[in-house]
A and B are shown apart, each in its own frame.
Chain A
Amino acid sequence: MNLKKTIQNTNDKIKLFSKFIGGVCGLIVYSLPAYFSEKRNRGTINKNFLAQVYFTGNLALRLISIVALALGAVTVIQVFTQLSKIGGQEFIGEVLKIVIIRELGPLFTAFIVISRSSTAIASEIGNMVVTNQVDALEMMGIDPLTFIIFPRIIGVTLALVVLTICFNAIALIGGFLVSLLTIGLSFDIFFNYIMNTITFADIFSSLLKSLLFGLFISSIPIYNGFQVKSSTTIPAVTTKTVMECIIFTIIFDIIITIFIYV
Chain B
Amino acid sequence: MPFIEVKNLSFSYGDDLILDSINENFEKGLCHIVTSRAGEGKTTLLKLIAGLKLPTSGQILVDGKSISLFSKKQMLDFHRKTGFLFQDAALINNMNILDNLALYYRYNTNLKEVQILETILNYLDYFDLRYALYLRPEQLSHGLQMIISFIRAILDEPELIILDEPVETLDQVLVQKMIEEIKKLKNKGCTTIISTHRVHLFEKICDKVMIIKEKKVIFSGTIRNLKLEKNEEIKEMLET
Report A's interface with B, CB cutoff 8 A.
Answer: 41, 43-44, 127-128, 131-133, 135-143, 147
Quick one: closest B residue to A138, CB to CB?
B79
In the complex, whether B50 has a CB less than 8 A from a CB of chain A is yes
- When A and B form their complex, which 10 residue pairs have the shortest distance between CB atoms, in order from nearest? A141-B80, A132-B90, A136-B90, A139-B84, A132-B86, A140-B104, A141-B79, A141-B76, A135-B52, A41-B107
7 contacts between A and B (CB under 8 A): A131-B93, A132-B86, A132-B88, A140-B107, A141-B80, A141-B104, A141-B108
Residue contact A139 to B82, C-beta cutoff 8 Å:
yes
Report the minimal beta-carbon distance from B187 to chain A, rounded to whole angstroms.
23
Report the minimum CB–CB distance from B82 to chain A (whole Å): 6
A91 and B80 alpha carbons, distance in the complex (Å): 64
Interface: B83 (CB within 8 A): yes
Flag if A131 contacts B108 (CB, 8 Å): no
Q: Are A135 and B77 in contact (CB under 8 A)?
A: no
CA distance A188 to B76 in the complex (A): 61
Query: Cβ of B92 < 8 Å from any Cβ of A?
Result: yes
A123 to chain B, nearest CB (A): 12
Scan B179-199; emit 1 where CB is below 8 A from any A CB, else 0: 000000000000000000000
Query: A141-B79, A142-B103 in contact; A127/B93 too (CB < 8 A)?
Result: yes
Chain B interface (Cβ < 8 Å from any Cβ of A): 47, 50, 52, 72, 76-77, 79-80, 82-84, 86-88, 90-93, 103-104, 106-108, 149, 152-153
Closest to B149 in A: A136
Set of chain A residues within 8 Å of B108, measured between Cβ atoms: 140-141
> How far, in whole Å, are A56 and B22 apart by their CA atoms in the complex?
48
- Decide if A139 touches B79 in the complex (CB within 8 Å): yes
Q: Which residues of the other chain, B, contact A127 by a CB distance below 8 angstroms? A: 93
Pick the residue among B92, B107, B149 that contacts A141 (CB under 8 A): B107
Asked if B107 contacts A139 (CB within 8 A), the reply is no
Q: Contacting A139 at CB < 8 Å: which of B83, B87, B93?
A: B83
Contact B50 A133 (CB under 8 A): no
Contact residues in B for A132 (Cβ distance below 8 Å): 86-88, 90
* Chain A residues whose CB sits within 8 angstroms of the CB of B103 once the complex forms: 44, 140, 142
Q: A41-B106, A132-B86 are in contact. Are A139 and B50 (CB under 8 A)?
A: yes
Taking CB atoms, residues of chain A closer than 8 Å to B91 are: 133, 136
Residue ID in chain A nearest B153 by CB atoms: A139
Q: Is the CB of B86 within 8 A of A140?
A: no
Q: A44-B106, A138-B52 are in contact. Are A143 and B90 (CB under 8 A)?
A: no
Closest B residue by C-beta to A132? B90
Judge whether A139 and B106 touch: CB under 8 Å: no
Shortest distance from the beta carbon of B66 to any chain A beta carbon, whole Å: 18
Residues of A contacting B92 in the complex (Cβ-Cβ under 8 angstroms):
128, 133, 136-137
Q: How far is the CB of B162 from chain A (nearest CB, A)?
A: 9
Cα distance A196–B104 when bound, in Å?
56
Chain B's closest residue to A140 (CB) is: B104
CA distance A147 to B90 in the complex (A): 16
| In the bound complex, CA of A142 to CA of B92 (Å) | 13
Starting from the known contacts A135-B47, A139-B83, A140-B80, 18 additional A-B residue pairs (CB-CB under 8 Å) come to: A41-B107, A131-B88, A131-B93, A132-B86, A132-B90, A133-B93, A135-B86, A136-B84, A136-B86, A136-B152, A139-B84, A140-B108, A140-B152, A141-B77, A141-B80, A141-B104, A141-B107, A142-B103
Across the interface, name the chain B residue whose C-beta is closest to A137.
B92
Best-buried of B50, B76, B92, B149 by chain A (most CB within 10 Å): B92
Specify which of B80, B90, B104 is in contact with A131 (CB 8 Å cutoff): B90
Q: Which residue of A lies closest to B53 (CB)?
A: A135
Question: Which B residue's beta carbon lies closest to that of A48?
Answer: B94
**Which A residues touch B84, using CB under 8 A?**
135-136, 139
Q: How far is the CA of A133 from the CA of B72 in the complex (A)?
A: 19
Residues of B within 8 Å of A143, CB to CB, are 72, 76
Q: Which residue of B lies closest to A34 (CB)?
A: B72
B82 cross-chain contacts in A, Cβ below 8 A: 139
B136 to chain A, nearest CB (A): 13
Max chain B Cβ within 10 angstroms of own Cβ: one of A43, A136, A137: A136
> In the complex, what residues of B have CB within 8 A of residue A138's CB?
52, 79
Could you tell me the distance in whole angstroms from the C-beta of B88 to the nearest C-beta in chain A? 6
> How far apart sit A143 and B77, CA to CA, in the bound complex (Å)?
11
Counting chain A CB atoms within 10 Å of each CB, the highest count among B79, B93, B104, B149 belongs to: B79
A137 to B72, CA, bound (A): 14
Please state if B86 and A44 are interface contacts (CB–CB under 8 Å): no
Separation in Å of the A137 CB from the closest CB of chain B?
7
Q: Which residue of B lies closest to A141 (CB)?
A: B80
What chain A residues lie within 8 Å of B50 (beta carbons)?
Answer: 139
